[in-house]
């Protein structure tokens, strides 16, 4: 039978179990699409052709014998090039890791394989998986399937581009400042930032701290990217044992807050109108919808979340980088509240100062909890703008400094480049789950996503509500030229 490469992973798994298609056929279909379309994107940087085909043949034989099958039996996928994959190169976009071929799988990879998934290859990331655009000295830059002159976001940019273009039905990203959510928004796919600590990070490279591949980094969480909310739910079942809701909540039973006035970030008219329209669509469908945000000062939230994010990412620096950070901090007065000043101090802050910052974070987490006691979910933007044009200067591991001087255009006004992460980190600092759903496209044809935020461990609910929003707004669409 003819196979639709834009079928969901759930549909592919059902066709496989019914005997309507073989795993080898699915693998070959995706390998052919990677060969045909990836030169336009540079999303897939390592392809294990022989290994994927061998595994597909093995799984086809198992199914024919009536052997046990997992929920992803025979479904091919790619993985962000930060997850250790036994026998498949894993570089984290770093020249120092160009020859790294792990002996063992990351925990999430082992779980995917146990469920029957086939790893076809790895997708591009920024160097050392640090950046809001996706490119590195090893493999170059990844392009957005909606506009090759624009970024797919980062750091899961290769993952989002591959899923959007039909090169892979499912991916798993990692995210501390929007690295799942921003690429999902930029490329028009679904993405899930899981409750902190829910999805294991063991085997995430480069690890934090460097000596411990099982360490959890503050603010970081892992989660899937896909073309449907149903596939996010299926993936979370495999990755973390999160059972999907037996039945999606009826819109008329939902209480929704729409938050558009924080965290001290100006929204473009396109983004504001599309996110607001998604809230209106929920209201028309019967949900109780009101405008509300967490009861905290948005400027303070921006400052606290940004410093926590900088401190978390600084934990992986080497001694030389840390010494430089200490020198910069010593020369930065406490009165300097600019992003550059906050960054300089946060990269080398003492444990005492971090504890004080963490206390402010906990207060804001309680504010989030208070709001989520009143509503089921909060609908808010991912970023103030759709995908931005590529930075002419490639990012590197010290590129937070470059990002401090860059700006983005928000309806003709120059705004800080790092405004793109602020909506994400004020959610992430509270450890809350957030599901990105495509809610439409701008007049220029660029996709826009919205976050559906819920209380801790309400991952199944945020994914289900994202599915409702996607059904009302159109959800995923195939980028032009990739059908």
Reply yes or no on whether the pLDDT at 209 is more than 50. no
- Are 136 and 54 within 8 A, CB to CB? no
113, 201, 294, 304, 355 from 309: Cα distances, Å = 32, 17, 19, 9, 14
The owner of tokens 């461990």 is: 457
Question: Which of 22, 23, 80, 176 is the catalytic position?
Answer: 80
Residue 124: partners with Cβ closer than 8 Å, 6 or more residues away: 42, 43, 44, 45, 81, 93, 134, 135, 136, 139, 142, 157, 158
Range in 61-75, 194-208, 229-243 the model is least confident about: 194-208
What average pLDDT is seen over the chain?
94
**Residue 261 preceded by cis peptide, ω within 30:** no
214 and 287 share one domain: no
Give the CATH number, domain containing residue 179: 3.90.1300.10
Cα 98 from Cα 101, distance rounded (Å): 9
Reply yes or no on whether the pLDDT at 247 is more than 90. no
Residue 383 annotated among the catalytic residues of the structure: no
Region of 286 please: left (phi>0), alpha (psi -120 to 50) or beta.
left
Nearest-5° Cα angle at 10, 7 to 15: 75
Reply yes or no on whether the pLDDT at 130 is more than 70. yes
Task: Determine the 3-state secondary structure of 63 from DSSP.
Answer: helix
Is there a domain that residue 454 lies in?
Answer: yes
* pLDDT tens-digit readout, 445-479: 999 999 999 999 999 999 999 999 999 999 999 99
- Are 152 and 145 within 8 A, CB to CB? yes
Q: Give the residue among 149, 188, 190 at the shortest CA–CA distance from 173.
A: 190
* pLDDT tens-digit readout, 256-297: 999 999 888 999 999 999 999 999 999 999 999 999 999 999
Residue 22 annotated among the catalytic residues of the structure: no
Residue 316 annotated among the catalytic residues of the structure: no
Reply yes or no on whether the pLDDT at 243 is more than 70. yes
Q: Give the residue among 87, 79, 32 at the shortest CA–CA distance from 55.
A: 87
Domain edge (last residue) among 216, 240, 264: 240
Is there a domain that residue 314 lies in?
Answer: no
What band does 208 get if pLDDT is binned at 50, 70 and 90? Answer: very low
Reply yes or no on whether the pLDDT at 213 is more than 60. no
Burial degree of 66 (CB within 10 A; 0-12, 13-18, 19+) = exposed
Task: Determine the 3-state secondary structure of 362 from DSSP.
Answer: helix
Number of structural domains in the chain:
2
Question: Which of 7, 94, 155, 228 is the catalytic position?
Answer: 155
- Are 465 and 435 within 8 A, CB to CB? yes
Reply yes or no on whether the pLDDT at 396 is more than 70. no
* pLDDT tens-digit readout, 333-353: 888 888 888 888 989 899 999
228 and 372 share one domain: no
Give 3-state DSSP helix, strand, coil % of the chain, rounded to 5: 40, 15, 45
206 and 286 share one domain: no
pLDDT of residue 248: 86
Please give the torsion angle defined by the CA atoms of residues 242, 157, 421 and 443, in that order, rounded to the nearest 10 degrees. -110
Reply yes or no on whether the pLDDT at 395 is more than 60. no
Alpha helices in 165-297 (DSSP H): 181-187, 229-240, 269-284
236 and 273 share one domain: no
372 and 438 share one domain: yes
Is there a domain that residue 277 lies in?
Answer: yes
Question: Which of 23, 168, 174, 179 is the catalytic position?
Answer: 179
Structural domain including 178 reads 9-240
Torsions phi, psi for 431 (to 5 deg): 70, 25
The owner of tokens 């002159």 is: 149
* Region 102-108 average pLDDT: 96
Reply yes or no on whether the pLDDT at 93 is more than 60. yes
443 and 404 share one domain: yes
* Region 201-227 average pLDDT: 79
* pLDDT tens-digit readout, 11-62: 999 999 999 999 999 999 999 999 999 999 999 999 999 999 999 999 999 9
């Amino acid at each position: 039978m003819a196979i639709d490469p834009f079928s969901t992973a759930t549909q592919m798994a059902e066709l496989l179990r019914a005997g309507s298609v073989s795993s080898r056929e699915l693998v070959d279909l995706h390998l052919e699409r990677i060969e045909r379309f990836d030169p336009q994107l540079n999303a897939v940087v390592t392809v294990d052709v022989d290994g994927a085909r061998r595994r597909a043949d093995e799984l086809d034989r198992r199914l024919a014998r009536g052997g046990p099958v997992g929920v992803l039996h025979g479904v091919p996928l790619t993985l962000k090039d930060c997850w250790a994959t036994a026998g498949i190169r894993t570089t984290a976009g770093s020249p120092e890791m160009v020859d790294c071929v792990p002996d063992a799988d990351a925990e999430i990879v082992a779980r995917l394989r146990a469920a029957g998934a086939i790893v076809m290859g790895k997708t591009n990331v920024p160097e050392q998986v640090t950046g809001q655009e996706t490119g590195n000295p090893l493999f170059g830059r990844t392009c957005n399937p909606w506009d090759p002159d624009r970024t797919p976001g980062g750091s899961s940019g290769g993952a989002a581009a591959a899923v959007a273009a039909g090169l892979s039905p499912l991916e798993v990203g990692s995210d501390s400042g929007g690295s799942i959510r921003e690429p999902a928004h930029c490329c028009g796919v679904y993405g899930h930032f899981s409750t902190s600590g829910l999805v294991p990070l063991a085997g995430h490279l480069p690890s934090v701290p460097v000596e411990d591949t099982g360490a959890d980094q503050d603010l970081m969480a892992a989660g899937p990217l896909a073309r449907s909310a149903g596939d996010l739910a299926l993936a979370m079942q495999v990755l973390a044992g999160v059972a999907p809701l037996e039945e999606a909540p009826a819109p008329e039973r939902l209480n929704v807050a729409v938050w558009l006035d924080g965290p001290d970030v100006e929204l473009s008219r396109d983004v504001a109108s599309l996110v607001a329209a998604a809230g209106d669509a929920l209201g028309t469908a019967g949900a109780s919808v009101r405008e509300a945000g967490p009861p905290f000062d948005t400027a303070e939230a921006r400052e606290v979340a940004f410093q926590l994010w900088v401190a978390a990412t600084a934990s992986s620096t080497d001694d030389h980088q840390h010494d430089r950070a200490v020198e910069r901090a010593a020369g930065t007065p406490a009165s300097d509240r600019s992003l550059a000043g906050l960054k300089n101090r946060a990269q080398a802050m003492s444990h005492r100062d971090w504890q004080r910052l963490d206390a402010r974070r906990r207060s804001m987490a309680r504010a989030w909890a208070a709001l989520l006691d009143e509503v089921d979910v909060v609908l808010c933007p991912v970023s103030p703008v759709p995908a931005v044009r590529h930075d002419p200067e490639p990012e590197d591991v010290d590129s937070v400094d470059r990002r401090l001087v860059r700006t983005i255009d928000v309806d003709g006004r120059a705004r800080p480049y790092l405004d793109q992460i602020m909506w994400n980190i004020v959610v992430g600092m509270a450890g809350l789950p957030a599901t990105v759903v495509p809610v439409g496209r701008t007049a220029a044809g660029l996709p826009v996503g919205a976050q559906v935020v819920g209380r801790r461990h309400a991952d199944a609910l945020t994914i289900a509500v994202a599915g409702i929003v996607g059904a009302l707004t159109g959800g995923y669409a195939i980028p032009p030229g990739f059908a």
